[in-house]
Amino acid sequence: MKRTIILSIVTVMLAVFAVPVLAQTKECNDENKAAWYDTFLKNYKGEPPQQKIAYDAAKLYLTSCPADPSDKIADFMKNKFVVPYEAMTAGVTLKKQFEDAYKAKNYADEIKLGKQIVATEPDNSAVYIMMGVAGLSDEGVLSDAAESARKGIELIQTGKPFAPYESKDKALAALTYVIARSKLKASPADAITSLIQAAKYDSDLKKNPQLYLDLATAYNDGPRAKLTDEYKSKIGPNQTETPESKLALANLNQVLDRQIDALARAAALADAANKAAIMGDLTELYKYLHKSDAGLNELVASVLSKPIPDVPTPLTSLPASTPSSTPATGGSTTNGNAQTGNAGATKTGNSTGAMTTGQTKTSSIQASGTVSAKPTASPTPATKKPRLNHRRG
């Protein structure tokens, strides 16, 4: 990706030339004041304006002479030119530093400098966007990046530019993914909606297997973990089923179905070196839910032609028939890695209760709105209960 910064930098071209120091002394007398003001005027209104020369003359006038409220010339030079000029040049310097941090992938400085820019330019959507996507490369700034992503989305939705992305959907997909990643560890259930939304935008991100691995993780650590605990609490004495446990199981199976869909999409998009590892997780989970792997290959082959399913609506009563299987507990799994691109290494997620974790890595967002993902291994789930929590390692 060409990391080109498209910023709303001031349009005034600064004529910063090597100018000889003004010959006048710094004595504040009428002759010098007239000379300084004359130099200021000639360059302030010249063709073209020589703003650096005008600024030097004005500063010499203002610093050599004591403040005088009745001096209209001093007041004009200070408030109509010097103060705006200094603010303008400071902004240009700050934006150059921000650009340098962006190019160097110094994400912490990028966030720090970006915040200073938007403090005076609250509608600068490009800066918010670039601060936002920094969170996909460095989880150390993910919290701040997610806040910037939310503001970037707000500005884009109100008609502000979506540069440096080439389309509105690509920008929104990337920023929505940032927000999803910020929720993945602390609030995986909340991350699901954002991950699904990111996949629905018309961008290359929907072709990235890592997004679907993250979605499978979110289902696993959010609603699946909650419903597993609920099922355990509803089961009767001696592990006998109750109407309440059967309802919890029916809701749990809906979530497992969504997790299978997410893993199938990841497997369908993965390259040859990584597909087998993802298929291992998927096969275990599919066989657990369906008691057989019949139809699994067909699912993987066709899943990308279907819309990604939304979060299942919780059932409040048992359907006509419910699966007789019960969620297994216990068992073990191995941790795997998914290596991608040149991303900074970060980790999210951990095992909770019977939900054992694996790990993955993702690279930084690209201008096209994609995150390259090449999971080289993923956790092998337990025989009775597949578990998945891909981490960015």
Question: What digits encode the pLDDT tens for the residues 128-168?
Answer: 999 999 999 999 999 999 999 999 999 999 999 999 999 99
Least confident range from 111-125, 214-228, 346-360: namely 346-360
Residues 6 or more apart whose CB falls under 8 angstroms from that of 217 comprise 184, 188, 349, 388, 389, 390
Q: How many CB atoms lie within 10 A of CB 364?
A: 20
> b/e per residue, 81-96, with b = 16+ CB within 10 A?
bbeebeeebebeeebe
- Distance between CA atoms of residues 300 and 297, nearest Å: 5
Q: In the chain, which residues fall in CATH 1.25.40?
A: 105-164
Residues 6 or more apart whose CB falls under 8 angstroms from that of 274 comprise 209, 338, 374, 375, 376, 377
Share of the chain above pLDDT 90, in %: 58
Q: How much is the average pLDDT of 318-329?
A: 57
Least confident range from 3-7, 9-13, 42-46, 297-301: namely 9-13
* pLDDT(7) > 60: no
- Distance between CA atoms of residues 323 and 334, nearest Å: 28
Q: How much is the average pLDDT of 203-210?
A: 96
* pLDDT(196) > 50: yes
Q: Does domain 105-164 have CATH number 1.10.8?
A: no
Highest mean pLDDT among 29-38, 41-50, 295-304: 295-304
pLDDT computed for residue 72 by the predictor: 92
| Helix (H/G/I), strand (E/B), else coil: 365 | strand
Task: Please write the tens of the pLDDT for every residue from 325-344.
Answer: 545 433 323 233 333 322 22
pLDDT, the chain, mean: 78
Residues 6 or more apart whose CB falls under 8 angstroms from that of 96 comprise none
pLDDT computed for residue 393 by the predictor: 28
pLDDT computed for residue 349 by the predictor: 30
**pTM, two decimal places:** 0.66
- Distance between CA atoms of residues 260 and 285, nearest Å: 7
* pLDDT(366) > 60: no
Instruction: Provide the residue count of the chain.
Output: 393
- Distance between CA atoms of residues 293 and 282, nearest Å: 10
- Distance between CA atoms of residues 226 and 217, nearest Å: 13
Helix-strand-coil split of the chain, %, nearest 5: 55, 0, 40
Q: Identify the DSSP state of 392.
A: B
Burial class (CB in 10 A: 0-12, 13-18, 19+), 269: buried
Long-range residue pairs from 244-248, CB within 8 A, at least 24 positions apart, any chain: 245/326, 246/318, 246/322, 247/315, 247/316, 247/317, 247/318
